[in-house]
Amino acid sequence: MLKNDKDNVIKFLETNLVPILFVIIIAFALPLSGFSVRYLFNEIIVRLVRNLFLVLALLLPIMAGMGLNFGMVLGAMAGEIGLIFITDWNITGLHGMFLAMILSIPLSILLGWMCGKILNRAKGREMVTSYILGFFMNGVYQLVVLYGMGSVIPIASDSIVLSRGYGIRNAVNLTGIRQSLDKLLPLKIGTTLIPVATFALIAVLCVFIIWFRRTKLGQDMRAIGQDMAVAEASGIDVARTRIISIIISTVLAGFGMVIYLQNIGTMNTYNSHEQVGMFSIAALLVGGASVNRAKIGNAILGVVLFHLMFVISPMAGKNLIGQAQLGEYFRVFVSYGVISISLVLYAIRKQRDKARAGIALADAQEVRD
Amino acid sequence: MKDKSPLLEMRNISKDFFGNSVLKDVSFKLEKGEILGLVGENGAGKTTLMKILFGMTVIRDTGGYSGEIFLEGKPVSYKTPFEALDDGIGMVHQEFSLLPGFTAAENILLNRESTKNNFMTELFGDRMKNLDRKDMRKRALKAIGKVGVQLHEDMLISDMPVGHKQFTEIARELEKDNIKLLVLDEPTAVLAESEAEILLKSMKKLSSEGISIIFISHRLREIINITDKILILRDGRIIQEKPTSSTNISEIAEAMVGRELEVSKREDVRVFDRTFLSVSRLWVNMPGETVRDVSFDVNEGEIFGIGGLAGQGKLGIPNGIMGLFPGGGEIILDGKKIGLNSPRIALDSGMAFVSEDRRDVGLLLDEPLDWNISFTAMQVQNKFLKPIFGNLIKWRDEKAIQNAAKGFIDALEIKCTGYSQKAQELSGGNQQKICLAKAFIVEPRVLFVSEPTRGIDVGAKKIVLDTLIKNNREKGTTIIMISSELEELRSVCDRIAIVDEGKIAGILPATRPAADFGLLMLGTAPVSGGAE
């Protein structure tokens, strides 16, 4: 029994190594930063509103055994293109935001379908494939947005087109829809504004994900996630199901991007989506998710911990060694670090599971003595 | 019953893989509710026969089969296993095909889940239906009841003992309401005795309910106990088809192993006086060839054989000792303890291994013969190296390498254009000789040879075996030979150990009759003089 308890503790530490590390870092940095609790609470609310939807978009492919969907960048691009159009057409407020979402859907489906097709040819190497695919599609996106828009695709508004007559400016101002969702149902707690409508939308997504797990399609995805060969042998259309999971993830990422940008209010046309993919994945992993297992709780915890660290690390850095850049440096460093650690831990765990059969053999001999 | 057509009839089934005939004119009938025992050595054609029945794609990809199959009098020919499933034929494979993270119920109903409609179904189709957990549990429990065991339907597969996994798998087949024929491929191999008994009992029950069963097993006692009819396959032919009541274990064993050839002339039994290699409590985790708690001693100068059916662990023994797969236990060579899990330690201590996996482990296919032969010797023993600048750099001694290669090419009659030919251009038999040369050149004290004659023609077989004997007699090398071919072991070895279910079932002198070894392989009581 004692051995069992010890094993359980070790297992808990092993599966939650990354969140535990983050809690420790934050525990050190928090007093150093000197921020008030109220300020931090406010910041956390803002970050949850911005990022949670995007992070939740990653859950389905993980369930289907396709790992971390770096291809969510494709959905983010679709969302951005939707936003460019509604800005051009000058449709503001909630209408504009939802129209942007609707515009992103066909594009997301197309991109997701393509991504899914390609990933089906790269089974077992989904993550690196979708990562590179993201870079590749970034080039296509740049071609379309930088050269196609204003020349082939009509863009009327001068304010978003470069002065040369075609191509979209580096920064697009989204004042028309800025925080239109967040301010729909405002709720003030002290000085903190709680955007109830946005949280409601996120809650709807959570309910959808929980409900989806209980559908036939969700069950099929879980089966494929565990063993593609067994799922195939039982008659499940593995290739199609995998494509569906990527399409759903891409569409959700597109929605998430619109929500993210309506909160910020300006769009960095050529960079926003790049960062979004990496930071979302890092946040999910910080929340204790792994390549093959992720829950809604992981997403929430991850966004809180990851962004809390972002908020406090510049001040902590400044107060500690007098340099605020440390925080910015930390951001990128930590994101890549977290992703690397998670991938390595995943590989180690897989190897250990293999070795377990040998240990069982040795144990079986011991018992007979 | 007489006037009705049988449930299953396979008529004149033949199949060859690229000219290599594996099934010849196999015909049999199976009545409703009958239990048919299918026995035969590995490679006898049992698996291929079942693959044909199920329409596995591998059969069509390799040119299809000839002959006819009738199910309830109607001719059938399945293009995919799904068509066979639709017609009520179920199969439980040797390897589990269960999802570890799913519960028993979820696995039993995989892709046949009970569902309920909801508003999304209208929009997005049937796959958006909700699972009906309550109904699923009910159906799973019913299927488990049919097997007749206590199984918790909510238990995760990964938490189950191995026997329960097997029962889950069987329950999955029984859950299909149209099931008429169940094929069980070695279902008891992983079960403890009490569990196997439960399974046999439920098989009896199923057959009384009218479900026919094809039972593949090498545990002859089970076959005798449970089947109505026994079909013995050997080299792709039906050797014997008899009602179970009119046969017995030793008759089956003999028919299976067969080949009542006179054992090739052997010299008198040799006597050895010194234990050279002592293996105790060895376990090896080699997938598909697991070794459990194996102990044996080999004498100096002896040729020791290890036999047994495929998948029972005989290949795991040399691979474990040589450090190619993780293992544990104690190896003592000439009084010195040898560490496990490191090929380097094994090689340094004077052991050499000719792997059953010639192409992947044995040879550098893209390199010339002389390199292949000298490679291990160069790496491990610093042979064929010329020191230059006072040992600062070591240079390959091409001349010596070539001469050594020439010597072996002559001695072993290796058919090639010369020592610079690439290894992959040789035939299987000649490749095997290169592997042997590579082992001989390091002058090992103990040589493990694994499946030395697999996939090579008869003439080459003899040369390979003679080469081993010659090396043993002239250089006194202690040889441990692992082979699936019992006759081959009996013609070369002094003593033979038979491995069954990862353990040594018995060690007998090679002069004992073939049937004795056959019985050991089949998990029946050792005749006498067994190790355990």
- Report the DSSP beta bridge partners of residue A279: none
- CA A321, CA A318: separation in Å to the nearest integer? 6
The CATH number of the structural domain formed by A2-167+174-368 is 1.10.3470
Residues of A in contact with B285 (CB under 8 A): 355, 357-358, 361
Question: Residue A281 pLDDT more than 70?
Answer: yes
Do residues B228 and B36 make contact, with C-beta atoms less than 8 angstroms apart? Answer: yes
Of B97, B113, B293, the CB nearest to A365: B293
Q: What was the pLDDT predicted at A366? A: 63
List the structure tokens of B189: 């191999």
Which among A209, A211, A219 is the top mutation candidate for probing chain B, defined by the most B β-carbons within 10 Å of its own β-carbon? A219
Query: Which domains does chain B show, CATH number per domain?
Result: 1-88+179-258 (3.40.50.300), 98-177 (no CATH), 261-350+445-459+471-532 (3.40.50.300), 354-443 (no CATH)
Domain extents in chain A: 2-167+174-368
**Quick one: pLDDT at residue B296?**
93
Judged by CB atoms closer than 8 Å, whether chains meet at B128 and A223 is answered as: no
Q: Nearest CB to A357: which of B110, B111, B285?
A: B285
Distance from CA of B11 to the nearest CA of A (A): 28
In this structure, of A15-24, A296-305, B40-49, the range with the lowest mean pLDDT score is B40-49
Which among B106, B126, B283 has the least Cβ separation from residue A365? B283
Enumerate helices (H) and strands (E) in chain B, giving the number of each.
Answer: 18, 24
In chain B, residues with a C-beta closer than 8 Å to the C-beta of A235 are: 82, 111
DSSP characters over B171-185: HHHHHSTT--EEEEE
Highest mean pLDDT among A182-196, B1-15, B437-451: B437-451
| Cβ-nearest to B98 among A230, A358, A365 | A230
Is pLDDT larger for residue A150 or for residue A368? A150
Cα–Cα distance between A278 and A332 in angstroms, integer?
A: 9
Name the strand (E) or helix (H) holding B168: helix B162-175
What pLDDT does A186 receive?
84
For A19-53, write each residue's pLDDT tens digit: 998 899 889 888 888 888 889 999 999 999 999 99
The predicted pLDDT at position B528 comes to: 45
b/e per residue, A139-155, with b = 16+ CB within 10 A? eebeebbbebbbeeeeb
Look at A229 and B97 and tell me if their CB atoms are within 8 Å.
yes
Least confident of A71-75, B45-49, B172-176, B426-430: B426-430
Do the Cβ atoms of B111 and A235 come within 8 Å? yes
| Listed range (A194-198, A213-217, A350-354, B12-16) with the worst mean pLDDT | A350-354
Q: Measured between CB atoms, which of A226, A233, A234 is closest to B101?
A: A226
B146 vs A116: which has the higher pLDDT:
A116
User: What pTM, to 2 d.p., does this model score?
Assistant: 0.79
pLDDT in tens, B411-451: 888 888 888 888 888 777 788 888 889 888 888 999 999 98
User: How far does A364 lie from chain B, in Å, by closest CA?
Assistant: 9
Closest Cβ opposite residue A355 in set B102, B127, B326:
B326
Chain B residues interacting with chain A (CB cutoff of 8 angstroms): 81-82, 97-102, 106, 110-111, 113, 115, 120, 126-131, 281, 283-285, 290, 292-293, 326-328
Question: Is A64 buried (19+), middle (13-18) or exposed (0-12) by CB count in 10 A?
Answer: buried
Q: For chains A and B, count residue pairs whose Cβ atoms are closer than 8 Å.
A: 75
Burial class (CB in 10 A: 0-12, 13-18, 19+), A182: buried
Q: pLDDT value at position B2?
A: 45
Mean pLDDT confidence for A234-248:
94
Mutate to test the interface with A, among B133, B285, B325, B340 (most CBs of A within 10 A): B285
The pLDDT assigned to A196 comes to 93
| pLDDT band, very low/low/confident/very high, at B306 (cuts 50, 70, 90) | very high
Query: What's residue A368's pLDDT?
Result: 53
Contact A365 B129 (CB under 8 A): no
Q: What pLDDT is recorded for position A60? A: 94
Mean pLDDT of chain B: 84
Of A147 and A356, the one with more pLDDT? A147
Helix residue ranges, H only, B266-397: 316-321, 343-348, 369-381
**Rounded CA separation B200/B149 (Å):** 11
Q: Which of chain A's residues have a Cβ under 8 Å away from the Cβ of B176?
A: none
Residue B370 or A324, more confident: B370
CB contact under 8 A, B326 and A217: no
Which of A214, A234, A368 minimises the CB distance to B111?
Answer: A234
Query: So what's the pLDDT on residue A367?
Result: 57
Average pLDDT over residues B239-245: 88
Burial class (CB in 10 A: 0-12, 13-18, 19+), A349: middle
In this predicted structure, the answer to whether residue B294 has a pLDDT above a threshold of 70 is: yes
Span A77-85, mean pLDDT? 95
Band (pLDDT 50/70/90 cuts) for residue B524 is low
- The fraction of chain B above a pLDDT of 70, given in percent, is 93
Chain A interface, best mutation among B110, B117, B130, B330, by max A CB count within 10 A: B110
Share the mean pLDDT of chain A: 89
**Cβ distance of B128 and A217 shorter than 8 Å:** yes
User: What is the per-residue pLDDT for B367?
Assistant: 86
Higher pLDDT, B119 or B296: B296
Confidence of residue A215 (pLDDT cuts 50, 70, 90): very high
Q: Pick the residue with more confidence: A270 or B376?
A: A270
Instruction: For residue A212, give how far its alpha carbon lies from the nearest alpha carbon of chain B (Å).
Output: 8
**Which of B109, B127, B176 should one mutate to test binding to chain A, selecting the residue with the greatest count of A CBs within 10 A?**
B127
Chain A hits for B120, CB-CB cut-off 8 Å, are: 215
Say if residue B164's pLDDT is above 80.
yes
Residues from chain A contacting residue B111 (CB–CB below 8 Å): 220, 223, 231, 234-236
How far apart are the CA of A277 and the nearest CA of chain B, in angstroms?
A: 28
**Among A211, A235, A362, beta carbon nearest to B328:** A362
pLDDT at B531 over 70: no
pLDDT band, very low/low/confident/very high, at B268 (cuts 50, 70, 90) = low
pLDDT value, residue A220: 94
Q: Which residues of A touch B54 (CB under 8 A)?
A: none
**Minimal C-alpha gap between B401 and chain A (Å):** 40
Query: Cβ of A235 and B326 within 8 Å?
Result: no
Contact B327 A223 (CB under 8 A): no
Taking an 8 Å cut-off on Cβ atoms, the answer to whether A230 and B283 are in contact is no
Residue B261 has pLDDT above 50, yes or no: no
**Percent of the residues in chain B that have a pLDDT greater than 90, as a whole number:** 21
> Average pLDDT for residues A207-213, to the nearest whole number?
93
Residues of B in contact with A368 (CB under 8 A): 293
Task: State the pLDDT at residue B262.
Answer: 43
* Residue whose pair of structure tokens reads 């978003």 in the numeric block: A160
Q: What is the CA radius of gyration of chain B?
A: 27
pLDDT, residue B237, reads 87
Q: Residue B527: pLDDT above 60?
A: no
Of B57-71, B104-118, B251-265, B511-525, which range is least confident?
A: B251-265
Cβ distance A216 to B131 less than 8 Å, yes or no, reads yes
For B138-288, strand residue ranges (E) read: 181-185, 212-216, 229-234, 237-243, 275-284
Cβ pair A235:B285 closer than 8 A: no
- A223 and B110: CB-CB below 8 Å? yes
| B52/A8: higher pLDDT | B52
Which one of A217, A223, A368 has the shortest CB-CB distance to B99? A223
Q: Which residue of B has its CA nearest to A215?
A: B130
Asked if B283 and A222 come within 8 Å (Cβ–Cβ), the reply is no
Return phi, psi of residue A20, to 5°: -65, -45
Contact at 8 Å (CB) between A230 and B95?
no
Q: In terms of C-beta density within 10 A (0-12 exposed, 13-18 middle, 19 or more buried), how is residue A156 classed?
A: exposed
